[in-house]
Structure 1
Amino acid sequence: MPCTAFGKPDLTTFCRLDELGLVAVGQRLELNRATIECRVAEADPWCRKCGAEGKARDTVIRRLAHEPFGHRPTVLMVRVRRYRCDHCRSTWRQDTTAAARPRAKISRTGLTWALQGVVLDHLTVTRVAAGLGVSWSAANAAVLAEGRQRLIDDSGRFDGVRVIGVDEHVWRHTRRGDKYVTVIIDLTPVRYKTGPSRLLDMIEGRSKAVFKRWLADQPRAWRDGIEVVAMDGFTGFKTAATEELPKATAVMDPFHVVRLAGDALDVCRRRVQQHLHGRRGRKNDPLYKARRTLHTGAGLLTDRQRDRLNVLFAVEDHVEVEATWGIYQRMIAAYREPDRKIGKMAMQAVIDSLASGVPPPLIELGKLGRTLKHRAADVLAFFDRPGTSNGPTEAINGRLEHLRGSALGFRNLTNYIARSLLEAGGFRPLVHPQTR
């Protein structure tokens, strides 16, 4: 008695050949490969030139790499019928463009599987090539071409962008120095809590001219729609945004502001260490032992850590470190304050105290105060626009670092930019299997 919950096995449907206009007629399973013999579902006997009905002449075999099923790469052995017209003496083949592009070696379903593997599952091109049973170069060229056509060159990719982040990124380390790119991130989904951030574009170099030129190349309507630009302390990005996006508000995100204070604390600690001992810190030196504890927020200190700091600051020679540490903690407390207005007032008080006159021995706080005074508007703008931070930009930079590690490095910048846009471009809705 047949089971009503199951239908008759159909290799054509199971392998999704009906989506390619093919019908399965046979299969051969080998240890490392599966081959499915197919034919074109629709006959094509009508002459392309005169429209007369032609006669079947013979068949040719077209082999296409298909999406794998199980651990075996799958190959489609498509029998394509050729016709001949007795009226105009022309010949033609059955149309297989539904299965693959002309002269392509990978089926359209195989390309979708490969693109989904790179974009969604973060597979390497080597793994994709092994799954398709093709060479690395063939898989890489196919994935980049498909990704550029369906995703990167999408005309609506920049639509709806209101908040952007900009940062620099090292894409290659060489003996002559690091090579940098400037990354532009769409922070709009994070700002309005509609999704994760995504990589908008990547351009070679890191300077005001590079970012300014990229902004100038964008449509005027798009630039006028940008509300906020999140960035680090690099003045070049700030100047470029001011000149090309006069209506946008520049925001210096908390990560980089606190990092400036943390760097000042480290430099002060090392300077005092050198002054007292004439050498770098060693494991038994109090300043060196407390280097990590000094960077811990006051509210997160354990009793043991608090006692260690009390002993450290009890030494009169460490007063400069204590003063710098106090400013560092005040800045952290301002950002952690739940009430934005109170937090903004606390940060304003820190900036005013550093700008009103710092004792000459506190060299690091003097330098920090000049920086904060110069960028005070950008630092305080964060408190008026909650959720605007360059933190997601740093997260995407981390994903790109992972991409470089998986690929064992890149030498071609064009290839790296394309792979980065596929990796972090936020194209999940376009290739998710539920929407195909």
Structure 2
Amino acid sequence: AAPNLVADTICRTAELGLSIDNAADAGDVTHLYCHPVTVDLSCPGCGQGCRVRDHVERRLTDLPIAGHPSVLHVRVPRLVCGNDDCNVAIFRASIPQAADDRQSVTRRVTRWILQRMATDGMSVKACARGLGIGWKKTCTLALSACRHLTGGDPGRLDHVRVLGRRRAQVEACSRRRH
């Protein structure tokens, strides 16, 4: 399919290696139907070239568009390895520029969560609402990113359960300063 340069530029899907085919507005959620611009057709097991068997849809939560959550519906090819000696028979092509395998959010979502919490003072709940995902998933993403950032001391955040402060605590702290 021919790339939709205007839509890809506005929604910044080009930086994910995706191109938009179609879009739908479902009330408070924007759905973008995409395909990968390039696909690696080599087998992860043996490295030989594979053939396309069919396509599957992979749903990824992405950054909010105009203040509403967005979901990418990526049409990913499923491939068949022709090497009889390979342990891998059928597999879904990776889209490493957009998201890790078995991940339900794009790579840039975690960065967005940390920026909103650190810069804008948003709570985990507000970030989750903005993305249209659950509080637990949002907190897990933020904690794993923080653990990655503190790579020199992996045990530093072992007992951390919640990131951020409650509003009442922030207000109490500001009253004590005055």
TM-score bin (small chain): 0.7 to 0.9
- CA drift of 1:65 comes to 0.9
Q: How many residues align?
A: 158
Aligned to 1:134: 133
- Confirm whether residue 72 of structure 1 aligns to residue 71 of structure 2: no
- CA drift of 1:47 comes to 2.6
- CA drift of 1:51 comes to 3.6
How far apart, CA to CA, are the structure 2 residues paired with 1:141 and 1:30? 27
Note the alpha carbon deviations across 1:18-38, whole angstroms, 9 max, x for none: 222222111111211001111
Percent of aligned positions that are identical? 29
The answer for unaligned runs of 5 or more in structure 2 is 171-178
How far apart, CA to CA, are the structure 2 residues paired with 1:407 and 1:100? 36
The answer for unaligned runs of 5 or more in structure 1 is 1-7, 157-200, 205-399, 409-436
- TM-score using structure 2 length: 0.77
Aligned to 1:95: 94
CA distance 1:74–1:407, shift in 2 (3 Å): farther
Note if contact 2:58-2:75 (Cα within 8 Å) is conserved in structure 1.
yes
- Confirm whether residue 115 of structure 1 aligns to residue 114 of structure 2: yes
Note the alpha carbon deviations across 1:328-368, whole angstroms, 9 max, x for none: xxxxxxxxxxxxxxxxxxxxxxxxxxxxxxxxxxxxxxxxx
Note if contact 1:124-1:407 (Cα within 8 Å) is conserved in structure 2.
no
- Confirm whether residue 105 of structure 1 aligns to residue 99 of structure 2: no
Q: Which has the higher contact order (CA 8 A, sep 6+)?
A: 2
- TM-score using structure 1 length: 0.33
- Confirm whether residue 404 of structure 1 aligns to residue 176 of structure 2: no
CA distance 1:154–1:51, shift in 2 (3 Å): closer
Query: What does residue range 58-69 of structure 1 map to in structure 2 within 5 Å?
Result: 58-69=54-65
**Structure number with larger C-alpha Rg:** 1
- Confirm whether residue 48 of structure 1 aligns to residue 47 of structure 2: no
Pick the aligned partner of 1:22 from 11, 18, 27.
18
How far apart, CA to CA, are the structure 1 residues paired with 2:118 and 2:77? 36
How far apart, CA to CA, are the structure 1 residues paired with 2:19 and 2:169? 37
**Paired letter, 2:95:** T
- CA drift of 1:80 comes to 1.1
Aligned to 1:149: 148
Note the alpha carbon deviations across 1:268-293, whole angstroms, 9 max, x for none: xxxxxxxxxxxxxxxxxxxxxxxxxx
- CA drift of 1:74 comes to 0.5
Note if contact 1:40-1:94 (Cα within 8 Å) is conserved in structure 2.
no
- CA drift of 1:102 comes to 2.6
**Paired letter, 1:122:** G
- CA drift of 1:9 comes to 5.5
- CA drift of 1:66 comes to 0.7
Provide the alpha-carbon RMSD of the alignment. 2.9
Query: What does residue range 156-195 of structure 1 map to in structure 2 within 5 Å?
Result: none
